């Protein structure tokens, strides 16, 4: 069942699971020292405002569910152009890819084994650096700032000609990245329930 959920004064459109936090282990051979690997994620049906862009990227919006994620930066604002910010963005990217490849993918396999659906749950994710999906072959860029704003009603500002998402907790220090599930709502719910149980 779809809901419009209030969170910290925001009304989230087409929210199935409202934002929750998990603490992730560091990737093996982690090149950036940090014990703080916090990830916020939620589950949404794509609203009409995003369907056109999603169809251009993935070919169809049928059976698609969006999982916007955000990580807090350890150095505050990510708008600065310096070595510290560059290293922090590398760390956040590394943690996100580790989550997708090594932590979430086995959970999706577990859901498919348990549910035994005729059409298995599958996942893709957007590379925050390029805006391109990692598994779907396309040259169409997905606007993650616009996506987070549409799903979670974050304020968007402009800095140096670029759109910037202002997270309600972390402001300019929020690092957005997007996952996409293709399957049923029950499959998507079960996968995120396992994520919450393991890392919440």
Taking only the tens place, the pLDDT of each residue in 152-176 is 998 887 766 678 888 999 999 999 9
What percentage of the chain exceeds 90 in pLDDT? 68
What mean pLDDT, rounded, does the chain reach?
Answer: 87
Whether residue 141 is contained in a domain is answered as yes
Q: Residues 99-131: pLDDT tens digits? A: 999 999 999 999 999 877 678 999 999 999 999
Output the pLDDT for position 131: 94
Q: Select from 114, 115, 108, 141 the least CA-distant residue to 127.
A: 141
Name the strand (E) or helix (H) holding 196. Answer: helix 185-199
**Domain total for the chain?**
1
Whether residue 194 is contained in a domain is answered as yes
Whether residue 31 is contained in a domain is answered as no
Q: Compute the Cα dihedral for 174, 44, 149, 51 and give only its sign.
A: positive
What percentage of the chain exceeds 70 in pLDDT? 88
Whether residue 29 is contained in a domain is answered as no
Answer yes or no: is pLDDT of 5 > 80.
no
Lowest mean pLDDT among 11-25, 62-76, 102-116, 179-193: 11-25
User: 76 vs 24, which has greater pLDDT?
Assistant: 24
Distance CA 32, CA 190 (A): 32
The domain in which residue 148 lies consists of 3-24+36-199
pTM of the predicted structure, to 2 decimals: 0.88
Output the pLDDT for position 6: 44
Cβ neighbours, 10 Å, residue 14: 19
User: 33 vs 157, which has greater pLDDT?
Assistant: 157
Whether residue 139 is contained in a domain is answered as yes
DSSP-based helix, strand, coil % in the chain, nearest 5 = 35, 30, 35
Lowest mean pLDDT among 89-103, 137-151, 162-176: 162-176
Q: How confident is the model at residue 95 (pLDDT cuts 50, 70, 90)?
A: very high
Q: Select from 142, 38, 146, 42 the least CA-distant residue to 99.
A: 38
Output the pLDDT for position 143: 93
């Amino acid at each position: 069942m779809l809901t419009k959920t209030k969170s910290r004064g925001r009304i989230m459109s087409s929210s199935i699971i409202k934002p929750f936090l998990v603490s992730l282990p560091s990737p093996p051979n982690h090149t950036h020292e940090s014990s703080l690997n916090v990830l916020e994620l939620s589950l949404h049906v794509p609203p009409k405002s995003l369907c056109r862009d999603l169809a251009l990227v993935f070919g169809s919006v049928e059976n698609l569910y969006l999982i916007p994620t955000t990580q807090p930066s350890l150095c505050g604002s990510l708008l600065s152009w310096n070595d510290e910010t560059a290293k922090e963005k590398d760390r956040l990217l590394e943690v996100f890819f580790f989550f997708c490849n090594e932590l979430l993918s086995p959970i999706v396999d577990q859901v498919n084994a348990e549910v035994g659906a005729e059409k298995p749950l599958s996942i893709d994710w957007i590379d925050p650096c390029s805006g391109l999906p990692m598994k779907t072959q396309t040259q169409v860029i997905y606007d993650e700032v616009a996506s987070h704003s549409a799903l979670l009603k974050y304020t968007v500002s402009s800095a140096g000609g670029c759109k910037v998402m202002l997270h309600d907790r972390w402001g300019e220090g929020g690092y957005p990245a997007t996952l996409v599930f293709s399957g049923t709502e029950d499959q998507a719910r079960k996968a995120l329930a396992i994520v919450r149980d393991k890392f919440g």
